[in-house]
């Protein structure tokens, strides 16, 4: 954190090795153990920090109706280039539209994005800015949330 208590930018905070591990998504490898234990799924809304839980509104809490995943619908539709609201919209769309076929599509899209390095981060950030909550009690939950910008 800087002198004012704000988080440092990723470039100043992450060592070159850490940036590389994030770049190749190798920092996700330990989560495979959680999948093997049954605490997580390969596909589902990405787990967020526990300190964010009290900040969720009712719509955003719906993302917890399924197990968290290593990859998810929000990750293949923008990952960290999305706003928090967009990410929650996509997470809840996934909860409402889950099928085995959708999971297979997400896994294929994830592999493609790791290989092509598309949609990884917001400019200047390796991670998302902190989630501070949302004043809205429900999401718009439009069909638009389900549209993928990547063809498989």
Question: What's the distance, CA 118 to chain centroid?
Answer: 14
Domain ranges of the chain: 10-146
Predicted confidence at residue 151, as pLDDT, reads: 40
Share of the chain above pLDDT 90, in %: 44
What is the secondary structure of 73-92 as a DSSP string?
Answer: HHHHTTGGGS-HHHHHHHHH
Q: Each residue of 13-33: pLDDT tens digit? A: 778 887 777 766 676 778 889
């Amino acid at each position: 954190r800087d002198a004012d208590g704000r988080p440092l930018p990723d470039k100043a905070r992450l060592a070159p090795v850490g940036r590389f591990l994030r770049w190749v998504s190798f920092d996700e490898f330990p989560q495979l153990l959680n999948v093997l234990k049954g605490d997580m799924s390969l596909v589902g809304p990405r787990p967020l920090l526990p300190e964010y839980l009290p900040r969720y509104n009712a719509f955003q809490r719906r993302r917890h109706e399924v197990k968290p995943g290593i990859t998810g619908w929000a990750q293949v539709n923008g990952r960290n280039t999305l706003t928090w609201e967009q990410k929650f919209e996509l997470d809840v769309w996934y909860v409402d539209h889950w099928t085995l076929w959708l999971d297979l599509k997400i896994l294929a899209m994830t592999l493609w994005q790791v290989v092509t390095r598309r949609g990884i981060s917001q400019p200047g950030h390796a991670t998302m800015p902190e989630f501070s909550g949302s004043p809205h009690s429900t999401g718009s939950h439009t069909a638009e949330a389900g549209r993928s910008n990547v063809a498989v």
